[in-house]
Amino acid sequence: MAHITVADEKYIFRPEMKRKLYILLGVGIVLFLLGIPLANVGSGGHQEEASLTTSTHLLASADQHTDEGHQAAEAKHEGEHHAEVPGILKRIKTTLWMNNMYFVGLGIIGLFFVAIQYAAQAGWSAGLLRIPLAMANWIPIAGLITLGLWFFVSHDIFHWTHENLYSGEHADKLISKKAPYFFWPLGAGSFPLFYIARMVLFFGMWYWFFTKLKANMLAEDLDPSPKYWYKNRVTSAWFLIFFAISSSVAAWDWIMSIDTHWFSTMFGWYVFASWWVTALAVITLIVAHLKSAGYLKIVNANHLHDLGKFIFAFSIFWTYIWFSQFLLIYYANIPEETVYFIERMTTSPYSWIFYANLFLNFVFPFLLFMTRDSKRQLSTLKVICPIVVVGHWFDFYNMITPGVMNEYGGVGFIEIGTALIFAAVFLFVVLSSLAKVPLVGRNHPMLQESLHHHI
């Protein structure tokens, strides 16, 4: 009887919830528009340049005896997009790209969550898989936004797109060596065909895997045969292989290449860790919202405990990756690597965000989720998960903005408004998708295990 009850649940996207999202969207638009004149007024004042000068001198002096260190210092002083004071349009482009990258992760990690449960033959999550599946509906929208936005922002955000870096007196030897990665098979400084092809391939394949998994999950509702579950196991395994490669390359392409002279072999893992723990927090928040509204009868304190453990564990995992990347670069003390952290640690407003990241994304989740009871209470989850969501938004801000805006970046109405706009549209897509299908897969082979899940 319980099987029939939970399997017949369907989310109703009520007008009250839609109204709240419209209000959130309206607030975001108002803040964004209000932030434009305020940012223009602020940029007219004195802009402090001490931090940039300090980091440049540190970069140059740390390796004066090597040609590469000297070239990197000159590049930071003369080149990249740090030479001029960025205008308001550049700030808008930066926050659009940053927020898009943040929400791209929520879409693809939704699909990753579903795939990892099938590949692991997990039973505990059978009753809440439709939530990350609904989040994956953002993938095609994110793909269109990313492709369109790239043509709008690329010349301002991605320094390597400037044609004069590959020939003539302003040629940059370090960037020229990376030209095939961006422009193959075309010439350096032309149209980045290889780069755009990767972008289209990644979103296309992610969407294809999403349609396959979704189709099998919905077919399972009509056919009690376990064949669709077996099909999804195979599809999930192939997706995870593709995701392991594509997510790392996407992180290099869309985020790391902003700081074109800098690279980290751990960056793909770092971006994944931030995407993963953020998506876990969003999934948990949606579960908490549905439970509070009387849905998801299948979900009990034991399921909440598992979600809380995931956030707790992967907050530690993110910190491990953060510390490992920082320690390796600190210990090696190579100028073209250390400048990345020097800019973020010594330049306002990034310096306070740099240190706040550790508290928001590690200290608070670690301490607040340490006890068993804290992971089993809706009220606690509703407090800690927003901290994680906001904390990793700041993480993406510090990954992207300093490389474009240098010391002229800021966290104001423009950035907050853009985040609220993206959040409102994302949640509208997710909740609309959730309302179109049953909340629980009727014939999932592991449904009974999820019903009796206890830890």
CA 232, CA 235: separation in Å to the nearest integer?
5
**Would you state the pLDDT for residue 407?**
86
Asked if residue 35 lies in contact with residue 418, where contact means CB atoms within 8 angstroms, the answer is no
78-87: long-range contacts at Cβ-Cβ below 8 A with a sequence spacing of 24 or more? 79/159, 79/165, 79/170, 79/172, 80/159, 80/260, 80/261, 81/156, 81/157, 81/159, 81/404, 81/406, 82/52, 82/406, 85/43, 85/47, 85/408, 86/156, 86/404, 86/405, 86/406, 86/408, 87/43
Evaluate the CA torsion angle 188, 189, 190, 193 in order and state its sign.
Answer: positive
Secondary structure of residue 86 in the 3-state scheme: coil
* Distance separating alpha carbons of residues 347 and 409, to the nearest angstrom: 10
Considering the entire predicted model, what is its pTM?
0.89
Phi/psi for 34 (5° steps) reads -70, -30
Q: Residues 135, 90: contact at Cβ < 8 Å?
A: no
Tokens of 75: 């590049």
Can you name the residues that pair with 132 across neighbouring β-strands? none
Q: Which amino acid is at 319?
A: T
Structure tokens at 153: 């922002």
C-alpha dist (Å) from residue 333 to 63, 187, 336:
9, 34, 9
Among candidate residues 365, 427, 360, 435, the one with its CA nearest the CA of residue 393: 360
Query: From CA 274, how far away is CA 320, in angstroms rounded?
Result: 12
Element (H or E) spanning 337, and its range? helix 335-346
CB 422 within 8 A of CB 99: yes
Q: Are 330 and 344 in contact (CB under 8 A)?
A: no
pLDDT of residue 70: 42
Output the pLDDT for position 159.
92
The per-residue pLDDT string of the chain (455 residues; one tens digit each, 9 = 90 and over) reads 444 466 678 999 999 999 999 999 999 999 999 999 987 755 544 343 333 333 443 333 334 334 444 444 444 444 444 446 678 999 999 999 999 999 999 999 999 999 999 999 999 999 999 999 999 999 999 999 999 999 999 999 999 999 989 988 888 888 999 999 999 999 998 999 999 999 999 999 999 999 999 999 999 999 989 999 999 999 999 999 999 999 999 999 999 999 999 989 999 999 999 999 999 999 999 999 999 999 999 999 999 999 999 999 999 999 999 999 999 999 999 888 999 999 999 988 899 999 999 999 999 999 999 999 999 999 999 999 999 999 999 999 999 999 999 888 889 999 999 999 999 999 999 999 999 999 998 889 989 888 888 88
Hey, how many other C-beta atoms are within 10 angstroms of the C-beta on 201? 13
Helices and strands counted in the chain (H then E): 19, 0
**Quick one: pLDDT at residue 2?**
45
Distance of CA 353 to the CA centre of its chain: 17
Tokens representing 185? 């098979």
Contact 409, 353 (CB under 8 A): no
Q: Give, as one character, the DSSP assignment of residue 438.
A: B
Report the distance separating Cα 165 and Cα 162, nearest Å: 6
The two structure tokens encoding residue 117 = 């449960």
How does DSSP classify residue 265?
T
- For the record, the structure tokens of 215 come out as 């189709």
Structure tokens at 45: 């004042």
* Per-residue model confidence (pLDDT) at position 6: 67
Q: How far apart are alpha carbons 259 and 81 in whole angstroms?
A: 10
Distance CA 395, CA 99 (A): 11
Round to whole Å and give the CA distance between 157 and 256.
Answer: 11
Whether the upstream peptide bond of residue 86 has omega within 30° of 0, thus cis, is: no
